Each structure stands twice: as structure tokens, then as C-alpha cells.
Chains A and B, each alone.
Chain A
């Protein structure tokens, strides 16, 4: 059964790269996109994806705050924090949320980290 992935990122290029890299490994997975944390929360309230990638710095709320709200309501969603801001404080926040922090840029290697987490490998 194909999986669903919600890509949350205000950068069109990042969303495109994340989709491309994941699709290359899992062509049957289905994607949806959100540009802000608020949009992501609204979308997930309607339909929960299996997996989610979440940027941190976006217009409106921080991705870490959106992730906290999403995982509080839907703990079964496998969510990774995907950010260019690699300061330890954000990595620590990801750990506190019980998820993982993957540093950008979006590359085959960083996407592999996310997919391994999604699939619990």
C-alpha cells in the first residue's frame, strides 16, 4: 500500500527537491505540500499523512511549534524536522519532540536519513 507524505516548507525549491529525492526511492508514495506550519496543521486535521517533513523557519509559526502540535494530536505520524538552521538548540528541540533533526541541504544522503526514520530502519 502506498504511503502519504506531507512536505512542509516555505521554499518551493526545497519542496521540489524533497519530493524528487523521495520519489526516486519510493515512486508509489503520494505527496501533499504545505507552505506554513498553520497550513500543515489544518491539512493534517482533515487527513493525516503517514509521514511528514517539517522545515523550521517559515512565515508564521515555527516548524518546531507546528510539529509539537501535530505530534500531540497525532503521535502515530512519523515526522522529521528538516532545517538549514543546524544550531544545537533546534536539534535538541527535535529530540524533545521524540523525532529526528535532518540538516539541509536536501541531498540523497539527508533524504535517506528521513526515509530510514519513516520506515523505522
Chain B
């Protein structure tokens, strides 16, 4: 896929936004809360410019889930949430509001793996249905990564000149916590 013109990027952004919307709907279904329409912004970042600041990685640690998709579109997709977002989401997902934080931590790995799998598949399914290109996916891989590790991972994975990032800012009805997530699309 060559992204040579602004129009191409606009079309791609639109398709990715459809995917992001589906992923956010899944999150809403899982936690049983209404999510205000997310503000998402798709950015095309030159691989040589990938850094903590260009990726807007504003926390020290992130929970990440990665899936690879193969077929006519070979792509690795990584979802990342900040720790605060993950704690809230897993508590809601597991209906564990009354549990202590250590108990919630026990479920983060399993919970995030499943949530990431659901959200990334919803996002990619929407994209591939729009593009009419069926693809197959690997199993989800969950890891806690520092901002530096995310940058290193992206630089090591993508062999294309650019990567695509969808920055998602969302708020949940009745919750003051500001939540952010990112979906990285690494074409290879």
C-alpha cells in the first residue's frame, strides 16, 4: 500500500476511524458503561521520527496487546493503555469494584489479553470488511512495556517508511478519570 497523496491518507484515516469506533464499542460492551464518542486522531509517522514524544507516550508504563494479521494485508497491530486506564477497565470488566488492588492485578494479564483480542479484532474486522480483504490473525500477546520499549519495538518491527497510530481519548459516563489508548498499525 503506497500512501503518496493526502487523499489516500484521508481515506485510510476514515477506514481506521471506523475500526477504532468498533473497538471502542467493544470496550463499552465489555465494561457495561457508555463511552462518550471517542476523539480519535490518526497520524502517519515516519519511522525515523518515531520517539516517545512523537507517539505521545505520556505514561511510564503501558499494558500492551499485540496481534499479527496475515493475508493480503500483513500487519502487526498493538493496542496500548496506560496503567490507570487498565486498572479501571479491568475492575469494571471483571465486576471487581469491591476488590483490593492486588486482587485486580492478578486478573490484569488475562483480562487485558482478552480485551485486547476483542478490541483489535473488532477494529481489524471492520477495516478488512471495508477493504474486502479477509485476513487471519495470530493469538494475542500481552506485555507491560515502558515508553522506551514501545519505541524500540516499533522501530524493530516495521520495515516500512511510515507507521500509523490511532490516538484515542475517551471518557466514560460518570467517571472523571481521563482515559487514553493507542492503536499502532505496523505494516510489514
Contact = CB atoms under 8 A, between A and B. Distances in A.
B122 A86 contact: yes
A87 B128 contact: yes
Given A11-B110, A14-B114, A84 B121 contact: yes
Interface residues of B, number: 21
Nearest to B120: A84
B139 interface: yes
A88 B134 CA distance: 8
Contacts of B125: 85-87
Interface residues of A, number: 17
Contact of A12 (B110, B121, B122, B135): B110
Interface in A33-84: 57-59, 84
B129 A59 contact: no
A24 B104 CA distance: 23
Given A58-B139, A89-B134, 10 more contacts: A11-B117, A13-B114, A57-B117, A84-B117, A84-B118, A86-B122, A86-B125, A88-B134, A104-B118, A105-B29
A14 B30 CA distance: 11
Given A84-B122, A87-B134, A107 B29 contact: yes
Contacts of B29: 105, 107
A87 B129 contact: yes
B26 interface: yes
